Amino acid sequence: MTRRAVSTSAAPKAVGPYSQGIVAGGLVFCAGQVGLDPATGQLVEGGVVAEAERALGNIRAVLKEAGCTFADVVKTTVFLADINDFQAVNEVYGLFMTDPPPARSTFAVGELPRGARIEIEAIALRPDH
């Protein structure tokens, strides 16, 4: 099986030895995205809601580069620095996901990169498979 990296300037550059996304067979694996503005490389202001919107926008950009949309997403994982942000994030998340929504896991974690309050990763099934 061949793996192909997905890279777009519409999402933040990888800051380590990883890809923004990987296409493998009929699947697209999107790396975890925090609320970094791809133009500035800085965390967006406005708290967890703004960060969730930006993180989901970053995932949308990686999906688009791989030929997918949120309608193709089958699984997401949401990491929260504070579980008390669950409801606010849920409301933003629901605006991006199509029906039926993908399977999802949500975890509270000790810390996230760059002081982020949320990180989201996704797996999608390419529509041409």
Q: How confident is the model at residue 98 (pLDDT cuts 50, 70, 90)?
A: very high
Check which CATH number belongs to the domain holding 79 and give it.
3.30.1330.40
8-27: per-residue pLDDT in tens? 999 999 888 999 999 999 99
Q: Provide the terminal-to-terminal Cα distance of the chain, rounded to the nearest Å.
A: 14
Closest CA to 48 of 13, 79, 10, 14: 79
Q: What's the pTM value of the predicted model, to 2 decimals?
A: 0.95
Q: Which residue range(s) make up the domain with 68?
A: 3-125
Tell me the residue length of the chain: 129
Q: How far apart are CA 79 and CA 100, in angstroms?
A: 21
27-86: per-residue pLDDT in tens? 999 999 999 999 999 999 999 999 999 999 999 999 999 999 999 999 999 999 999 999
pLDDT score for 128: 80
In our burial notation (b when 16+ CB lie closer than 10 A, e otherwise), range 42-76 reads ebbeeebbbbbbbbbbbbbbbbebbebebebbeeb
Number of domains the chain is built from: 1
